[in-house]
Structure 1
Amino acid sequence: MDAAAVLTRLAEVIDAHDWDGLPALLHEDFTCRLVHTDEEFGKDAWVAFNADYPGFERMHLEDLVAGGDRAVLRARVIGRGDGGEELVFAVASFATVRDGLVSELVEVWADVGQEAPEGTRLG
């Protein structure tokens, strides 16, 4: 698979909670770094991190840009907090693909719905 197809499939597998299928998309040397926490995961740890993440419900792919062995996706992630309230996040995932598998992933997460400082909102 090319980078666009692999990243599209990655989002589909995560959205479906197909934790048994997720490792098949990841290279043996896979690493993921979360920019906001500076955590780094290997293949098995990242699969477990996703499978065990509390309250996760859905991952909606919103945009994808790819070229060569690199691809970037932007997705909206929906979850539930401890009180059952809906939580919405945005994630940008920057991937490198090797041998048709994701070998490196860097993710940038943000809360959705934050209030912009006064006077900074356009329009």
Structure 2
Amino acid sequence: MDAIEVVRQLETRMQARDWDGVAELVSPDAVIEWPRTGERFSGTSYVAMNRGYPDGWSIRVREIVGGDDRVASDLEVTQEGVDGVFVATGFWTVRDGRVVAAREYWSGPTLDEAPAWRTPYQLGDDGP
């Protein structure tokens, strides 16, 4: 399986809550970072944390691009009881069919909001 397919399968298995299948794709000693919150997980703890995450979420893969052993992913995630969509951009390193490192940046309705002072600079339906 090439690196893009590994990450695609990772997201497919996460959506299916196939945690044993996810563990097959993530090296136990991988390092997965979430810089926004300052969290770091080993591959084993990343799988366990996702397994323990409260249910009610759904992943939609918008895009996965890359080559060789480096892949970038763009996801939308909805969560029951939360208005809006979370987005995640991930940068994955894959070797021998397994994730060995990743950095994911998360944003969403309960994570951050654009400050009012930037409103005049945003694109509207008719441009800035």
Q: TM range, normalised to the smaller chain?
A: 0.7 to 0.9
Partner of 1:90: 87
Partner of 1:102: 99
Percent sequence identity is 32
Partner of 1:73: 73
Task: With the length of structure 1 as denominator, give the TM-score of the two structures.
Answer: 0.88
Q: Which runs of 5+ in 2 are unaligned?
A: none
For 1:69, give the aligned amino acid: D
Partner of 1:64: 64
Partner of 2:119: 118
The number of residue pairs the alignment matches comes to 120
How far apart are the structure 1 equivalents of 2:104 and 2:11?
A: 13
Pair 55,86 (structure 1): closer, same or farther in 2 beyond 3 Å:
farther
Is the strand fraction higher in 1 or 2? Answer: 1
Task: With the length of structure 2 as denominator, give the TM-score of the two structures.
Answer: 0.84
Is the helix fraction higher in 1 or 2? Answer: 2
Pair 78,13 (structure 1): closer, same or farther in 2 beyond 3 Å:
same
Check whether the contact 1:27–1:98 (CA below 8 A) recurs between aligned residues.
no
Greater C-alpha Rg? 2
Q: Using CA pairs below 8 Å that are at least 6 residues apart, which structure has the higher relative contact order? A: 1
Pair 120,87 (structure 1): closer, same or farther in 2 beyond 3 Å:
same
Q: Which runs of 5+ in 1 are unaligned?
A: none
How far apart are the structure 2 equivalents of 1:109 and 1:13?
A: 19
